[in-house]
Chains A and B, each alone.
Chain A
Amino acid sequence: MSAEPEKILRDLRDLWVQLGHDQEASGGVLRACAMTLLVVAEDQDDAERVRRTMGVLMHDHPCRAIVLRMSEGAEVDARVFAECWVPYGGNQQICAEGVEVTAGAAKLNEVIRLLVPLIVPDLPVVLWHRGGHAFAPGGFDALFPLAGKIVFDSGTASDADAAITVLRELRKRGPRVADLAWARLTGWREVLAQTFDDCTPSVSSVWVTYGGASPSSSVRYFARWIQQALPSAAVGIESASGEPGVHSVTLSGKDTEIAITLADASSVEIRTGKRGCRFKLPPASDDALMREELGIVGDDAVFDRVLT
């Protein structure tokens, strides 16, 4: 193995010393670390995207980021990096550290031996398993025991049903599982929940419309969540033209007609009777979704119920 954990840890220490020297005049740098975040990137391009995402994400969740990039036939190699920023209103630079590990798929066991000593002790460990290949059998399962929470994105899988089944089975085996496809629904769910804040309208049927050739995992989660909340209502999904994802949800019943419709890419309109109101949806970029997921360190009972 060309990358040795001791050497990487030494490189990290040297990196901090160097950063401290560089910023001595402005009061030095502040090291921040709230967790270890292991990221499995799909390929070289994806690793670049991950680096950009980490740059944003580290402001909210400073961590030791370990980005694992698989490259066919490559030996295990590693390099260290830091992401630094000056917080709003502050004058001291804050930095979080990272390690990029490159290896061929055949070297996964060596990679795991490398990762174990690099994990920051006493803090949570989250594994972000990116891309559709995360749902392929075998793959990176050996990494799962390292993490307390594993984040997937079933929205990238070619078969939504199969992806949800993989997550359900994994959850049954014990690890905490999260899905960015579920986090994408938070804005929709919050707006729908709001209509039930002050009273519980009588609802007998619910229709969710979606775009795309088949219902995505988000659409399936949404319908299932509604069904669990309103067990006596008939919940159906139907396709509509347009971009993939949820397009609308309509709840009907005696004296009840609530319609929430996608108004544009970033907002929904809610109509209850004659009243209408527009709400902004939260951003759905990878960093925004991960920010939400990394904010949840314990069990997510609502998602668990929907998943299983």
Chain B
Amino acid sequence: MPETNPFADPLRFERRVPECAIVIFGANGDLTKRKLLPALYRLAYERRLPASFAIIGNSRTPLSDDAFRDKMHESVKQFLEDSPFDEELWAGFARNLYYIGGDLNDPKMYADLGTKLGTLGKSNVLYYLSTQPSYYEPVADSLGAAKLAEHRPEGWRRIVIEKPFGHDLQSARALNTGIHRVFSEDDVYRIDHYLGKETVQNIIAFRFGNGIFEPLWNRRYINHVQITAAESIGVEGRGAYYQEAGALRDMIQNHLLQVLATIAMEPSAVFEPDAVRDERAKLLRAIKTLRPEEVPLNAVAGQYRGFRQEPGVKPDAQVDTFAAATFLIDNWRWAGVPFYVRSGKKLPKRVTDIAIQFNEAPYALFSSANGSSPMRPNLLILRIQPEEGISLRFLSKQPGSGMMLRPVSMDFNYGSSFGERSPTAYETLLVDALQGDATLYTRQDMVEASWRAVQPILDDWSSRNFDFPNYEPGTWGPPAADEMLKRHGHQWRNS
């Protein structure tokens, strides 16, 4: 909301969206149905969309506006999370939904789109590419050719693209070059929904809003860091897609390296989009590039038993359903501190967390209950999902005579301290893009830096023939992942 609004009350009013049109390419797809439309409806429910917004859906299927509205009505009803569905509100919301059928390669479709935007009188336009990645460049080119990508004196044109941003460093660079032929980097919003999660944003608040942790946040006090994103389910019908991606590409290269950057970056001088993204990018660039001979010792690929029997998966698929890697950061703050990152499917439970293991006290004054010296008792756990929150483990004297110590945990539960409904990642990120706030979006240099960090692993794995499957569903991945940490005298937290 501009500061000039005489009725502004930022303490009580939610951030709102300016008058605009959102054009969704791939409007018949799962993402639109499950995430985008429910998020937009929810924004309308909270009075955050202006009365005159417009959503224009596109896909190949011929549909009338009304048929599109009916389809979206069912989807929003089905996939709306933690919110009531209000038919009357929907009726008003649906009046602003429009549909243009047509192929993404057909210039006529873009001409129709231009006409529609002109009829609706929309100068601010957000293009959302919820399509196959192979369409990103052609759609950007076509928008450019149809003169739909140019900023107008009275309005902006932005483009949102979903991951994957390329499938390796080279293709990511080529994609960036292609998109930049039409849109400047300032108008490109690469969405990584992990960064839109409240609890990931809370990492920044936790680190830079408090004075007590930052002095300890370095190689002197932190022994190592573990980042885990585990899923208990398998590929759930996405086998054909997944066998082209794998855990390293699907999770680590983007989501988890962004989380790592949030954990390890320097504080920015101001909380502004480019200042924060500069720090994230600097950190990603500081990740040590593995030499080819270092890869086998620092990266582990796994595949669960049964993956090759999933629909759409080749019987000899070499793709990783589990990936673990050790990253080192070459800067003064983190030199020598391993960051262990892992992600996998069919693991024992669904959990995403970050564990920061502090060094033990310099001298072991006390014995633990069983008489042995307590090892590295201080552990800070930032839980992303489920049960979002923060736990700090420390030693306490066990009741009774004698000085026996036992680890205890101090918990902060996000849900209990702030029971209010949190906006979904897509609600947050859509409002950000519409307001031109790119803080939580990934910039070109960040994408390329994170591909550079994993590229040696991809190169090594593509030249090998793994003896898959190498882990059983319901376990924490292949034994080699444990051995990777054992070599450093560490072990995964499997709880």
Which residues of B from 403 to 424 have beta carbons under 8 Å from A? Answer: 411, 413, 415-420
Within 8 A of B (CB), among A173-217: 186-187, 189-198, 200
Q: Report the minimum CB–CB distance from A181 to chain B (whole Å).
A: 14
Residue of A nearest to B2 (CB): A197
Q: Is the CB of B50 within 8 A of A198?
A: yes
Distance of A295 Cα from B18 Cα, bound (Å): 25
CB distance from B78 to the nearest CB of A (A): 18
Q: How far is the CB of A275 from chain B (nearest CB, A)?
A: 6
Judged by DSSP, the binding face of A is: mixed
Q: Tell me which of A86-94, A101-109, A142-150, A152-160 binds B.
A: A86-94
Take A88-B82, A90-B387, A198-B19 as given contacts and tell me if A278 and B417 are in contact as well, using a CB distance cutoff of 8 Å: no
A59 to B9, CA, bound (A): 25
Chain A, 249-290, contact with B by CB distance < 8 Å: what is the 0/1 string?
000000000000000000100101001011110000000000
Taking a contact as CB atoms under 8 Å apart, the answer to whether B51 and A30 are in contact is no
- Could you tell me how many residues of chain A have their Cβ less than 8 Å away from some Cβ of chain B? 46
Do residues A194 and B51 form an inter-chain contact, with CB atoms below 8 A? yes
CA gap between A230 and B5 in the complex, in Å: 10
Determine the residue in chain A with the shortest Cβ distance to B91. A278
Query: B423-437 interface mask toward A, CB cutoff 8 Å, 1 = contact, 0 = none?
Result: 000000000000000
A48 at the interface (CB under 8 A from B): no
Interface residue B467 (Cβ < 8 Å from any Cβ of A):
no
Q: Do A89 and B86 touch (CB < 8 A)? A: no
From B14, B16, B416, contact of A197 by CB (8 A) = B16
A87 touches B7 (CB 8 A): no
CA of A90 to CA of B411, assembled, Å: 14
Nearest CB of chain A from residue B406's CB, rounded to whole Å: 15
Q: Are A278 and B47 in contact (CB under 8 A)?
A: no
Asked if A193 and B416 sit within 8 Å, CB to CB, the answer is no
Q: Which of B6, B45, B47, B52 makes the CB contact (< 8 A) with A230? A: B6
B1 to chain A, nearest CB (A): 5
Tell which of A88, A196, A197 has the most Cβ of chain B within 10 Å.
A197
Knowing A59-B419, A90-B386, A94-B413, say if A267 contacts B5 (CB, 8 Å). Answer: no
CA distance A272 to B89 in the complex (A): 18
| A58–B387 CA distance with the chains assembled, in angstroms | 18
CB distance from A58 to the nearest CB of B (A): 8
B413: contacting residue among A30, A187, A195, A225, CB under 8 A: A30
A87 touches B5 (CB 8 A): no
* Count, chain B residues at interface, CB 8 A: 36
Chain A residues near B13 (CB, 8 Å)?
A: 186, 189-190, 193
B236 on the interface (CB 8 Å rule)? no
Q: Cα distance A275–B121 when bound, in Å?
A: 13
Q: Mark B121-151, 1 if CB is under 8 A from A, else 0.
A: 0000000000000000000000000000000
Name B420's closest neighbour in chain A (CB-CB): A60
15 contacts between A and B (CB under 8 A): A60-B419, A61-B419, A62-B419, A87-B416, A88-B82, A193-B1, A194-B47, A197-B19, A277-B51, A277-B92, A278-B89, A278-B92, A280-B47, A296-B12, A302-B11
Other than the given A197-B19, A198-B50, 10 more pairs (CB < 8 A) read A87-B387, A92-B387, A92-B413, A94-B413, A278-B89, A279-B92, A280-B86, A291-B420, A300-B11, A302-B12
Binding site for B on A (CB under 8 A): 30, 32, 34, 58-62, 87-92, 94, 186-187, 189-198, 200, 225, 229-230, 267, 270, 272, 275, 277-280, 291-292, 295-296, 300-302
Task: State the B residues within 8 Å of A (CB).
Answer: 1-2, 4-9, 11-14, 16, 18-19, 45, 47, 50-52, 82, 86, 88-89, 91-92, 386-387, 411, 413, 415-420
The 7 A-B pairs of least Cβ separation, nearest first, read: A193-B7, A277-B51, A59-B419, A229-B6, A87-B415, A94-B416, A32-B416
